Chains A and B, each alone.
Chain A
Amino acid sequence: MIPLKLQIILLLFILLAIVQLTRMITRYKLDLKYALLWILLTMTALLLVIFPQLLSKTANILSIETPTNALFLLAILLILAIIFSLTIALSRASNKIKNISQELGILRYEFESYKKNIGKE
């Protein structure tokens, strides 16, 4: 299967990632909403490192010859999901920026004309 040394190194990496994720969420640096997929990713990785036989089983189910390829497939799918969620977040954010810019432009105009009228009186 997988050498113990590699297993331990991978485990350390994942634990480090989990600690960092948790830290950022508790400090409000990372919105839980956007962290959900990352949590899913780390949990999957954790599971696979502790029980590597799961990967062989998955490969079997998907009729993929080597477990490594199953791992790549899984990893790429998760990464795509994360990227897609980013695109959604970006669309939402750009819409909000658009609305705020429009509002700000109008408000600035109204404010300037208000100031002018005050000056006249």
Chain B
Amino acid sequence: MKILIIIPAFNEEENLGDLIKKIKKYDNENNLDILVINDQSTDETSLVCKREGVNVIDLPCNLGIGGAVQTGYKFAAMHNYDIAIQVDGDGQHNPEYIEKLIEPIIQGHSTMVIGSRYIEHLGFQSSSVRRMGIWYLKYLINTLTGLKITDPTSGYRACNKEIIQLFSSNYPKDYPEPESIMYIKRKGLTVLEIPVIMNERIGGESSINLHRSIYYMIKVSLAILFDKIRKESF
């Protein structure tokens, strides 16, 4: 079974080294391939990866999180990977959950598995403002699709081959996490959540700051609504 870990990274030199070390320590049998997508970082993100001996794709233009992640899925599709795991480059995601994340996929219970902070409510729970936003998105997706996704913005996810193919041909652009759940549901595929514990980011900066969060909420809401009325064939 070929498994690829996709790590989108934009200016994450402070966090990436630790993350890669953690993954390697976790994966001592070396079953996992790691691929960092460097989205035109201005710091030494690419160098850190090379120093750690990890494969890195340096994008020639800044594509944003959606475009960067999709590059990973395109790579996974090209190289015939069976499972792709998305891990944020900021170190919020603990590699120790990888096994739990891919288990339902290997057993064929689900096509996609999301790691959620809000099932057991342990570890870093994000700020209250963000929790409100996530809560709202949870209800929006729930009313529109009936899916119960407690952590729709979580970027800690694993996908099977079918979804790798789907994402490599079409993936939402700017803030893709909630929208991609709609997309998968529309395609008749299944999403499952498992509880994980996340960390607070140590260094660097989040891509969503306070004044961008209003834009984020409006854009994501509209994206979800538009996806609802989209036909299945798109």
Contact = CB atoms under 8 A, between A and B. Distances in A.
Interface stretch (B52-60, B141-149, B187-195, B213-221): B52-60
Interface residues of A, number: 11
7 contacts: A98-B63, A98-B67, A106-B74, A106-B75, A108-B57, A108-B60, A109-B57
Interface string B170-200: 0001000000000000000000000000000
Given A106-B74, A106-B78, A101 B55 contact: no
B57 A101 contact: no
Nearest to B78: A106
B61 A101 contact: yes
Given A106-B75, A106-B78, A101 B59 contact: yes
A67 B59 CA distance: 55
Given A102-B70, A102-B74, A106-B71, A97 B58 contact: no
Contacts of B60: 101, 104-105, 108
A104 B55 CA distance: 15
A102 B67 contact: yes
Contact of B55 (A97, A98, A102, A109): A109
A80 B37 CA distance: 39
Nearest to A107: B57
Nearest to B73: A102
A83 to B, nearest CB: 20
A101 B74 contact: no
